[in-house]
Amino acid sequence: MASPPSSPPLAILPQRPSNKRQRSGEVTDFFSSDPAPVFSSDDWQDASIEQYEAPRRKRTFRGPWWKSCKRWEPATMLTSESHVMSLARNLDSGVWIDNDDSIALSSSLSTLLNGPTTTDTSYQLTFCPDWQQKYPAPLLSQAELQAQGLVESCLEQGTQYVDMSNLGLEKLDGSIIQPIRAFSTVPMACDRDFRPQLKILLSMNSLQTLPKEIWELNHIVHLGLRQNRLETLSPNIAKLVDLQSLDITGNKIRWLPWELLSLITPSRSLAMFHVEHGNPLLMPFEGLPEFPSCIRELAIGHHQDFVQTKPETNSGHATEMQRWLCRIGETIHAGKLYGEGLSNSHCIPSKPWLVGCSEMARFSSDGTLANGSPIAPSLVPLEQRSLKAYLVDDLPQPQRISCSRVGSLFELSLRRVTALISTEQLRKYVPDLPEGPFQRALTEAEHVQADGGRTCSVCGQLYILPRAEWMEFWHVHRSGATAGINGHLLPFLRRACSWRCGYTAFCNIRSAYGRYAAKCTINSFP
Amino acid sequence: MSEEKQTEYVTLVSCDGFEFKIKRSAAILAGAIKNMLDPNSRFQEGLTGRCEFENINGLVLDKVCEYLYYNEKHKDAKDMPDLDIPPELCLELLMAADYLNEREREKETNSMRRRYDKGRDFLATFWRFR
């Protein structure tokens, strides 16, 4: 008789955890979702009859709630190796990708908990132990902390005058400047507007760069950057539309951004700016400091006789220089004749006038100088103080350029790459990228990012690598300087995103001069 | 080879065998391809009208061709729409663009190829990380 087939063995069911409360005094599960006791007098342990024998310890909580979570020590997390590994995987999942908000959050959290300078891991940081090595909270130097304090006190008291001069700042973190954006004033009278009139002084420091956040404070009225180590001024300064006075003397500035001209037109308010003292400005000639005294004679009206009466004999550039002086005299003269924007007794037009221009330098698509291009103004060696330039009337006709305005493939993909990942990250993950132009382009992209982006001065498109650049010399009148005629020749660097843009701009300059020659009035600034 | 005998279309071949037939007028906007196709340069490509890129895969070359047409279309335009570059391609495209530039500049293939191969290794590492 066949026995029935044996049934499979019963599965061993896991023992259900009992729902009963644990009576032991210890709470083992630290990660339980049980709400923490709210009051210090709450019974933390079970107040059953058995517990009455044992002496009960009253628990007190001191400090903020997040400090009471002592069990989440980073040390315990670090001991389990597998946990760290799985976390390391998650770090790259895009959640922690370079994000201003998250960094700001972590820095503000760590500031809240421990003060800004300590390296103790905060509550947030315990989840990912190497968070701080990856994205260090901006460690502020002593000087920066002092500056931060100054900004905070100004914001609290409602003072519009932020004096951060002479603090010995070597760099200025954007997070210090950013709070000033929130500044607003309460007007005393009804007709005043709410816009603050910020005065920011950063003079007598050792700053080499400025944070991009400073260009977003578009209510700055006075910006003092005297006696620093700045080498260039960002074109984004054109965003400060309310700027009335700018002081950049005593830096290492060799040229001004062309975009600054948009602030100097009479419709804007920038009337006072101090540039020329202590800056190694690039000029068409070496000997231009004596310029003003010569122009004074010209301004009176003898500029036609100038060439005969005052021949410069000892310099090779004499005749060329005289032509430049004559041109400046003419512009002053024209301003006097047409009564355009006259300033008190000196009869100087307050509009900037284009006097001369260097040749257009062309770059190939990866940012190196193209074949057959003249030297780029930004590549002129430091010890050289002069740059070959032409007066507007004998500016050579640029080569006809028929290439398109479309950025090169290199430029387009570089733009996309840097929008997605920071260059720092790219370098970290891809440690040895090909050298040469590739690396240089990445460095450039890094600069542009830190500076807050670049727009083409001709078509207004965003770009990273300039394809064309040239220097324009403008005669700019400024009030508030010392006595006499203080119209000066200043170099402005102009950049374009494509050769076509550069060509268009050059043709515009020439045609504008043609109009001047016809009407004897220069109106080349749009 | 005289001007009339040049074909209107040229063929670009990727390393994985995809062939792209595009207009010669668009293709020569890229300096490197122009050099390769130049009949006077005595490259074989100049005679056959067929360029093979051993370092550029089909996906990337597709995008390169799209760019070439985009470039030709917006030659005289002032405001053009952005070329859409998918994020997973952009770094490879950057490498390819650098490679094409290199060819234009040096016309010397070996060192560039080595560099490009180096770049590709990094790329592989990079995407593994991602």
Given an 8 Å threshold on Cβ–Cβ distance, is A429 in contact with B90? no
Given an 8 Å threshold on Cβ–Cβ distance, is A366 in contact with B101? yes
Given an 8 Å threshold on Cβ–Cβ distance, is A413 in contact with B118? no
Helix/strand/coil for A404? coil
Q: Does residue A171 sit in the same domain as residue A103?
A: no
Q: Is the pLDDT of residue A390 over 70?
A: yes
A454 forms beta bridges with: A463
Q: How far is CA A63 from CA A36, A60, A78, in A?
A: 14, 10, 26
A494 is a domain residue: yes
- Domain containing A166 — which CATH number? 3.80.10.10
Question: Residue B61 belongs to what domain range?
Answer: 9-129
Quote the CA–CA distance of A236 and A251 in Å, as a whole number.
18
**End residue of a domain, out of A274, A305, A320:** A274
Of the candidates B76, B94, B129, the beta carbon closest to that of A92 is on: B129
**End residue of a domain, out of A87, A103, A134:** A134
Q: Does residue A197 sit in the same domain as residue A90?
A: no
B100 is a domain residue: yes
Look at the block and give the residue holding tokens 């460690």: A139
- When pLDDT is averaged across residues B55-71 and rounded to a whole number, the result is 89
pLDDT score of B71? 85
Phi and psi of A187, rounded to 5°? Answer: -70, 145
Quote the CA–CA distance of A487 and A350 in Å, as a whole number.
9
Quote the CA–CA distance of A29 and A458 in Å, as a whole number.
67
Given an 8 Å threshold on Cβ–Cβ distance, is A413 in contact with B90? yes
Nearest to A214 by CA among A268, A245, A248, A172: A172
Is B5 near chain A, with CB under 8 Å?
A: no
| Helical H segments across A141-219, by residue range | 142-157, 174-177
Question: How many Å from the N-terminal Cα to the C-terminal Cα in chain B?
Answer: 49
pLDDT score of A34? 58
- When pLDDT is averaged across residues A366-377 and rounded to a whole number, the result is 83
CA–CA–CA angle A262, A263, A266 (5° rounding): 95
How many residues are there in chain B? 130
Quote the CA–CA distance of A215 and A211 in Å, as a whole number.
8
Quote the CA–CA distance of A195 and A183 in Å, as a whole number.
9
A3 is a domain residue: no
A129 is a domain residue: yes
A17 is a domain residue: no
| Residue type at position B97 | A
CB A458 within 8 A of CB A504: yes
Is B124 near chain A, with CB under 8 Å?
A: no
**End residue of a domain, out of A106, A134, A162:** A134
Q: Does residue A150 sit in the same domain as residue A128?
A: no
- When pLDDT is averaged across residues A371-380 and rounded to a whole number, the result is 86
CA B111 from centroid of its chain's CA atoms: 18
Quote the CA–CA distance of A71 and A111 in Å, as a whole number.
22
H/E stretch holding A224 reads strand A220-224
* Contact list, A364 vs chain B (CB under 8 Å): 101, 104-105
- Domain containing B79 — which CATH number? 3.30.710.10
Is B125 near chain A, with CB under 8 Å?
A: yes
More confident residue, A252 or A267: A252
Q: Is the pLDDT of residue A239 over 70?
A: yes
- When pLDDT is averaged across residues A279-297 and rounded to a whole number, the result is 65
CB B66 within 8 A of CB B72: no
| Residue type at position B116 | Y
Q: Is the pLDDT of residue A73 over 50?
A: no
pLDDT score of A415? 87
B1 is a domain residue: no
Six-digit token string for A402: 């028929």
DSSP state of A478: -
Q: Does residue A395 sit in the same domain as residue A360?
A: yes
* Contact list, B78 vs chain A (CB under 8 Å): 405, 459
pLDDT score of A354? 84
Q: Give the model confidence (pLDDT) of A495-510 as tens digits.
A: 998 888 888 888 888 8
pLDDT score of A123? 41
B2 is a domain residue: no
**CB proximity list for B69: less than 8 A, separation 6 or greater:** B22, B23, B26
Split into its structural domains, chain B has a count of 1
User: Which of A56-60, A347-351, A368-372, B6-10 comes out lowest in average pLDDT?
Assistant: A347-351
Q: Give the model confidence (pLDDT) of A141-171 as tens digits.
A: 888 888 989 988 888 888 888 898 888 888 8
More confident residue, A481 or A9: A9
Q: How far is CA A367 from CA A87, A244, A469, in A?
A: 40, 35, 11
Q: Does residue A106 sit in the same domain as residue A157?
A: no
A244 is a domain residue: yes
Question: Residue A437 belongs to what domain range?
Answer: 288-519
Q: Does residue A423 sit in the same domain as residue A509?
A: yes
* Contact list, A432 vs chain B (CB under 8 Å): 118, 122
Q: Give the model confidence (pLDDT) of A165-223 as tens digits.
A: 888 888 888 888 888 888 766 655 555 666 778 899 999 989 988 988 899 888 888 99
Split into its structural domains, chain A has a count of 3
DSSP state of A299: I
Q: Across A15-152, where does the E strand assignment appear?
A: none
Q: Does residue A193 sit in the same domain as residue A117?
A: no
Q: Does residue A321 sit in the same domain as residue A470?
A: yes
More confident residue, A514 or B125: A514
- When pLDDT is averaged across residues A308-322 and rounded to a whole number, the result is 54
Interface test with A, best of B94, B105, B111, B112 (most A CBs within 10 A): B94
pLDDT score of A332? 64
A309 is a domain residue: yes
Q: Is the pLDDT of residue A283 over 50?
A: yes
* Contact list, B81 vs chain A (CB under 8 Å): none
A486 is a domain residue: yes
Q: Give the model confidence (pLDDT) of B79-105 as tens digits.
A: 778 888 888 888 888 888 887 776 555
Q: Does residue A95 sit in the same domain as residue A149?
A: no
Q: Is the pLDDT of residue A35 over 80?
A: no
Q: Does residue A377 sit in the same domain as residue A329?
A: yes
For residue B69, what is the nearest residue in chain A, using CA coordinates?
A406
Of the candidates A364, A412, A429, the beta carbon closest to that of B85 is on: A412
Is B11 near chain A, with CB under 8 Å?
A: no
* Contact list, A404 vs chain B (CB under 8 Å): 29, 71-72, 74-77
pLDDT score of B87? 85
Given an 8 Å threshold on Cβ–Cβ distance, is A416 in contact with B90? yes
Six-digit token string for A525: 């600034």
Nearest to A465 by CA among A493, A437, A426: A437
H/E stretch holding A223 reads strand A220-224
pLDDT score of B82? 82
CB A168 within 8 A of CB A136: no
* Contact list, B118 vs chain A (CB under 8 Å): 432, 434
Q: Average pLDDT, whole number, for chain A?
A: 70
pLDDT score of A8? 66
A51 is a domain residue: no
Phi and psi of B42, rounded to 5°? Answer: 65, 20
Q: Does residue A329 sit in the same domain as residue A446?
A: yes
For residue B130, what is the nearest residue in chain A, using CA coordinates?
A92
For residue B89, what is the nearest residue in chain A, using CA coordinates?
A413
| Residue type at position A86 | S
Q: Does residue A269 sit in the same domain as residue A295?
A: no
Given an 8 Å threshold on Cβ–Cβ distance, is B101 in contact with A437? yes
